[in-house]
Amino acid sequence: MTKETKSDKDYSIYFQPPSLKDAKKRGKEEIAVLYDFAIPEELKLFGAGKSYMIRTYGCQMNENDTETMKGLLEQMGYTETEDKEEADVILLNTCAIRENAEDKVFGELGHLKHLKTRNPGLVLGVCGCMSQEEAVVNRIMQKHAFVDLIFGTHNIHRLPILLRDASFSKESVVEVWSKEGDIIENLPRKRSGMKAWVNIMYGCDKFCTYCIVPYTRGKERSRRPQDVLAEVRDLARQGVQEITLLGQNVNAYGKDFDDINYLFGDLMDDIRKIDIPRIRFTTSHPRDFDDHLIEVLAKGGNLVEHIHLPVQSGSTEVLKLMSRKYTREQYLELVGKLKAAIPNVVMTTDIIVGFPNETEEQFEETLSLVREVGYDNAFTFIYSPRDGTPAAAMEDNVPMDVKKRRLQRLNDELMISARASNLKLKGEVVEVLVEGESKTNPDVLAGRTRTNKLVHFAGPKSLEGKMAFVRVTEANTWTLKGELVEEPLQLSV
């Protein structure tokens, strides 16, 4: 079923469909950090005169990987295009988190098929989290055989070689490593704009029972502090205004070091001394949020007062079935500590409704937790069973229409708390990092507060990429409107 490539390298052990079972095993072997990455000399002009397009689905981790793949492709001489009709390489960087994420990709593959018939030279590739799933790879091989290349999340650095192989091979090239690879430093990156992501760790060892990520991203492994700090300093020198530190579970940062005692709080304490106006992080797991980290965050400065702290459910019993490893009370205690330590902290979260057998009372506990915390925003989802995860084997007696109604009630509750929180800002002056013209009205600028709220205001285009100060004149549920003012002596947010 799996086809091999003409590659002369001995990577044959990897040319097999991925295995979720193998991906689950957490090996004891050391993860090496490799610093000597380089594009093979003979591939540096491989893409000259050709263009590529990458479609990115899913979370910031994928956005981040896309920037790396763009960097690799541009070092091979390819240029980026937005026009799929003219692209010589099209990559779909996919997400496996919920069924609808996967449906979108299969839909897109259907749309792209005709391009292959028109341009047989086109290399069409699928990468990202879906490639790590055996069922998906099998389905692509059987039903979408026109796909030329499938590679996983652990071997992105092999893209130049895989692309060469796919271009010359008549058969599909499949290279997915079920076990995570090493950490590869010094990969090229194509970044744009005044904001940047910095990956501080890869993988996840939490194994929440509903979640596919530990299988698609491998075990937790942290980048060395000096490598993260060097990257952040370099971004500061380039004038980047905002950095988001990335990991599936950033508070587990450093727990895998056995030669140094250096955790996420230590990293934040070092990063806050670097001259970048805003530092964010995502995502933090409530379980590993320690007091030292709270102490460091309370120092403020460029560490913004916005914490995304996924709760998933307000019911201790459901949390237990989800294997989140904290109770409702422990979560609320943590929120209490954060609110006490960080003035004006804004909390956002992720919530799943309709987990197998979630009762009405358990769902109402989620509603009451939402009221108690007073979130400013949340990503809310209907539970979607994922093949190979423990929850997929749980019997589920909550009908879909009940799940949908719960999602609606939850979203209504969140709108109330988001609106209440925004109303408090009316009349206040906020610091806004200006992103550019508003998508809906080119006469208006759009930007974000330190707490990541979207603000619209009239002002000169020259402010793009810079900080501005804006008095809030109108507060809506999800956005603020305001007017430009002089820098105030004291800021509200």
Binding of ligand F3S at residue 129 (CB under 6 A)? yes
Ramachandran angles phi, psi of 223, nearest 5°: -75, 150
- 96: DSSP letter: -
Comparing CB distances to ligand F3S, the nearer of 328 and 386 is 386
Member of 51, 384, 477, 492 binding ligand SAH (CB under 6 A): 384
Q: Does 323 bind ligand SAH (CB under 6 A)?
A: no
Q: For residue 68, say if its preceding peptide bond is cis, omega within 30 degrees of 0.
A: no
**Which DSSP helix (H) or strand (E) runs through 103?**
helix 99-118
Q: Is the dihedral of CA 91, 93, 96, 100 positive or negative?
A: negative
> Is the Cβ of residue 59 or residue 298 nearer to ligand F3S in the bound state?
59
Gap between the Cα atoms of 46 and 40, Å rounded: 10
Number of Cβ within a 10 Å radius of residue 460: 10
Tokens of 447: 């930007």
| Contact between 59 and ligand F3S per CB under 6 A | yes
Q: DSSP readout, 188-223?
A: -----SSEEEEE-EE------TT--HHHHH-S-EEP
Burial grade of 318 (CB within 10 A; 0-12, 13-18, 19 or more): buried
Answer whether 240's CB lies under 8 Å from 195's CB.
yes
244 to 273: interface string for ligand SF4, x by CB under 6 A: ----xx------------------------
221 binds ligand SF4 per the rule CB under 6 A: no
Q: Which is nearer to ligand SF4, 75 or 313 (CB)?
A: 313
As measured in angstroms, the least distance from the Cβ of 377 to ligand SF4 is 18
Q: By CB under 6 A, is residue 349 in contact with ligand SF4?
A: no
Does residue 280 bind ligand SAH (CB under 6 A)?
no
Output the known binding site for [4Fe-4S] cluster. 59, 95, 129, 204, 208, 211
Interaction between residue 386 and ligand SF4 (CB under 6 A): no
Which one among 89, 92, 97, 493 touches ligand SAH, defined by CB under 6 A? 97
Residue 70 binding result from ligand SAH, ligand F3S, ligand SF4, none, given CB thresholds of 5 to 8 Å by partner type? none
- Determine, following the binding rule CB under 6 A, whether residue 149 of this chain makes contact with ligand F3S: no
Site size with ligand SF4, rule: CB under 6 A: 10
Residues near 392 by beta carbon (within 8 Å), at least 6 away in sequence: 385, 386
Residue 383 contact among ligand F3S, ligand SF4, ligand SAH, none, beta carbon within 5 to 8 Å by kind = ligand SAH
Q: Single out the residue of 248, 366, 417, 438 in contact with ligand SAH (rule: CB under 6 A).
A: 248
What number of H helices and E strands is found in the chain? 13, 21
From the list ligand F3S, ligand SF4, ligand SAH, none, pick the one residue 75 interacts with, judged by a Cβ distance below 5 to 8 Å according to partner type: none
